[in-house]
Structure 1
Amino acid sequence: IQLDESTDIASCPSTLVSVRYVWQDDFIEDLLCCLNLNSHVTGLDLFTELEKCIVGQYKLNWKHCKGISSDGAANMTGRHSKVIEKLLEATHNNALWNHCFIHREALVSKEIPPSLMDVLRNAVKIVNFIKGSSLNSRLLEMLCSEIGVNHTHLLFHTEVRWLSQGKILSRVYELRKEIYVFLIEKQSHLATIFEDDIWVTKLAYLSDIFGVLNELNLKLQGKNNDIFQYLEHILGFQKTLLLWQARLKGNRPSYYMFPTLLQHIEENIINEDCLKEIKLEILLHLTALSQTFNRYFPEEKFQSLKENIWVKDPFAFQTPESIIELNLVPEEESELLHLSSSFTLKNYYKTLSLSTFWIKIKDDFPLLSRKSILLLLPFTTTYLCELGFSILTRLKTKKRNRLNSAPDMRVALSSCVPDWNELMNKQAHPSH
């Protein structure tokens, strides 16, 4: 399961619980329950409500729960709440808790050196000065339209969606000349910020790096993704950071990985000492990102995945010697040897999803199939909950703030496809 809590427009906390389970020939992801609780709910109260829903209403047994994913916030994992701890106890510690990959990556992105953070704060001040006044927004739009630039609007900054800063900074950099003219006309002291070449160069770098972090964040989103895909994205990005550091430390530093920054350097005359200062700032930032990534995604946590890499591609192990190195029990080794030798199953593997493939062969290879399913089944993010909260904001508006959202959320988030023909053939008025 995955669970997360948010507050709706009526200041009422709502907890969404999504579930992934094996059904017929694939994994099914669906909303398990939407709990509307009062504002003074405790961790014990939340656990009790979850117990009523999962055990009481749906008659599910906690011992069958193999994974719990949350965003790691104190309302779930804090020493006073301990909701996750109680859930793990209910499963008799058969389940593993996972801190949402998306949330972890967002926390990593906040690791910024002080000088770059000052650039970020000033950019946000400029955006807020313009967007905070409807008149200022309209005047800037008119100015940009007259000049004929591609974009005429700035984007708002929101602390909740930290990675939205990638697009915000890109837009500020793109419209920097127009914004500078506008601020001069408004006689704002913020105009002097754009007169600092080092600040503008750092802004170009920040727009690039936040854009890259945002791309990684998007790769970690989505439905029906397995943990091996996420592992590839995370490890690949960690290696990319090391490569970029090596490029900058070379005798001839290269900025090809930051296209906006590279274009800015090529189009403007930047003092050599200033460029060295900026390079050191970038190196400091990339090093901090690498260290923070290693802290939030420690290699030892993924050791079990590396030991079970055969789950990702069982046909990569064709020889007895390669199979022995996997430390499987003899029965599992025998199954893997026969599986990897099957041309028919290899064709299935190429056309089916990883989960569907292992479920399909569960009768012929029960040991490997069960082990693979238990590894692939748990959630690694709380994406479905975040998706649910987005829908909740559309359902529960200011004029519908008394709405009991649970039934509507059930319909909006259900993965079941209605049988429209049967519904249309039903008699609308039974009394007739």
Structure 2
Amino acid sequence: MLHRHNLVAKNISPSLHQSLNIAVRAINKIKGHALNDRIFRQLCGENDEAFQRLLLQGDALTLVHSKATICSFLAKLELYRHNLSKRQFNNFPQLAKVVDELTDNHLLRYADHLRAVKADMEIRFRDLEQLEVPEWVTEPFQTNASRSEAEIQETLIDLQNDEEAKATFRACGWRVLWAMHGQRFPLLWKRICFLLLAFPTSYLVEQGFSQALHMQTKYRSRLNLVTSGALRLKLTSLCPDVKKLAASHQAQGSH
């Protein structure tokens, strides 16, 4: 379920609201039943899609990744609005199919909606958009240490000459580099540790409400989601070792 779609709908035109409702009903239909979800993944696989499940939000984005995602999206919104004003529909393949039916009023409505979305995003994510990420965070071995803050220049040089850190960066990227070796360089780690925090969205909260809604049916109305641990099992990212758990219990031959 998209828990925010009602909030979004308050600021869009009736025609766009209708389109949003169609998308929400489709998503709820797919995610509401395991069979539908499996069929959807199979369809995505047959069509060679990049993803094989509905991705509502991410739960592993750092502040650095989130900043890049938001800034990219804002720039794309401005591009889309500019292209619409010139009746270029490369970004809107469905509109391109009905180009002869589009009037100037239609295009103006769509352009106004894109402008409103961009303005709302800029307000909601102003702090993230203005977040400063030093160059040495994502490119520690290409950065000229002399151009960094005087306090960290020597430590940055130590990092740049650390062969183990270089190997980690080449194999796994900057995120794993700092997670594995960051605390060996305290002055650098002090400045970067908060940038590795997961982006604080309401994703997990919304996921919890959705799971509770699906589990607390009329057939399981007496199920206590808190004391039984059922909700925790639904939300955990840990995969249980079933074979190990089964091996720790004595088999009941009579059963």
**Match for 1:230 among 38, 55, 66?**
66
Moved runs in structure 1, 4+ residues, more than 6 A? 102-106, 165-168
1:312 partnered with 2:110: no
Separation in structure 2 between the aligned mates of residue 399 and residue 362 of structure 1, nearest angstrom: 51
Paired position in structure 2 for 1:111: 11
DSSP 3-state at the match of 1:385: helix
Pair 341,239 (structure 1): closer, same or farther in 2 beyond 3 Å: farther
Give the equivalent residue in structure 2 for 1:257: 91
Larger Rg: 1
- Separation in 2, partners of 1:370, 1:106: 41
Q: 1:344 to 1:380 in 2, by over 3 A?
A: same
CA distance in 1, matches of 2:167, 2:9: 41
Structure 2 residue 237 is matched with structure 1 residue 415: yes
Cα offset, 1:416, TM superposition: 3.7
Structure 1 residue 361: deviation in Å? 0.7
1:72-151 correspondence runs (5 A)? 111-112=11-12, 117-120=13-16, 123=18
The alpha-carbon deviation at position 225 of structure 1 amounts to: 2.1
Q: Deviations over 1:43-78 (max 9, x none)?
A: xxxxxxxxxxxxxxxxxxxxxxxxxxxxxxxxxxxx
Structure 1 residues 219 and 103, CA, compared in 2 at 3 Å: closer, same or farther?
A: same
Q: For residue 14 of structure 1, what is the aligned residue in structure 2?
A: none
Would the aligned equivalents of 1:157 and 1:165 in 2 still touch at CA under 8 Å?
Answer: yes
CA gap 1:405/1:354 in 2 versus in 1, 3 angstroms: farther
- Which structure has the highest helix share of the two? 2
CA contact (8 A) 1:111 1:292 kept: no
CA root-mean-square deviation: 3.7
Assess, with a 3 A threshold, how the Cα gap between structure 1 residues 316 and 243 changes in structure 2: closer, same or farther: farther
In the aligned structure 2, how far is the partner of 1:109 from the partner of 1:235?
23
Give, in angstroms, the shift of residue 258 of structure 1. 1.1
Which of 319, 324, 334 does residue 154 from structure 2 map onto? 334
- Could you report, residue by residue, the CA deviation over 1:112-151 in whole angstroms, capped at 9, with x for unpaired residues? 2xxxx23246x57xxxxxxxxxxxxxxxxxxxxxxxxxxx
CA distance, structure 2, for counterparts of residue 220 and residue 350 of structure 1: 31
**Partner secondary structure for residue 107 of structure 2:** helix
Equivalent pair of 2:60/2:199 in contact (CA under 8 Å): no
Matching residue of 1:428: 250
Q: Deviations over 1:328-375 (max 9, x none)?
A: 461x23222332344542331233365532131134312323432232
Match in the other structure for 1:275: 103
Partner of 1:164: 24
**Corresponding residue for 1:239?**
75
Alignment correspondent of 2:202: 382
- Residue 95 of structure 2 aligns to which amino acid in structure 1? L
Cα distance in structure 2, aligned partners of 1:219 and 1:120? 21
- Would the aligned equivalents of 2:212 and 2:225 in 1 still touch at CA under 8 Å? yes
Looking at secondary structure, tell me which structure has more strand per residue: 1
CA distances 1:283-314 after superposition (whole Å, capped 9, x unpaired): 2222222222212222x5443x3244533332
Q: 1:363 to 1:238 in 2, by over 3 A?
A: closer
Pairs aligned (count): 225
Aligned to 1:148: none
In 2, Cα distance between the equivalents of 1:369 and 1:249? 47
Tell me how far apart the structure 1 counterparts of residues 223 and 249 of structure 2 sit (CA, whole Å). Answer: 29
**Structure 2 CA distance, aligned partners of 1:109 and 1:343?**
53
Q: Quick one: which amino acid aligns to residue 74 of structure 2?
A: Q
Aligned CA distance change for structure 1 residues 346 and 425 (closer, same or farther; 3 Å): same
Query: Structure 2 counterpart of 1:224, which letter?
Result: A
**Cα displacement (A) at 1:276:** 2.4
Q: Which has the higher contact order (CA 8 A, sep 6+)?
A: 1
Query: Alignment identity in percent?
Result: 27
| 1:285 aligns to 2:145 (yes or no) | no
Q: Is the 8 A contact 1:104 1:296 kept in 2?
A: no
- 3-state SS of paired residue (2:103): helix
Distance 1:307 1:359, change over 3 A: closer
* 2:167 equivalent in structure 1: 347
Contact 1:223 1:384 in 2 (8 A): yes
Q: Secondary structure at the match of 2:192?
A: helix
Q: 1:302 to 1:220 in 2, by over 3 A?
A: farther
Task: Provide the residue aligned with 1:91 in structure 2.
Answer: none
SS in structure 1 of the partner of residue 184 of structure 2: coil
Q: List alignment gaps of at least 5 residues for structure 1.
A: 1-101, 125-155, 169-214
Q: Give, in whole Å, the separation in 2 of the partners of 1:309 and 1:107.
A: 37
Q: Are residue 294 (structure 1) and residue 122 (structure 2) matched?
A: yes
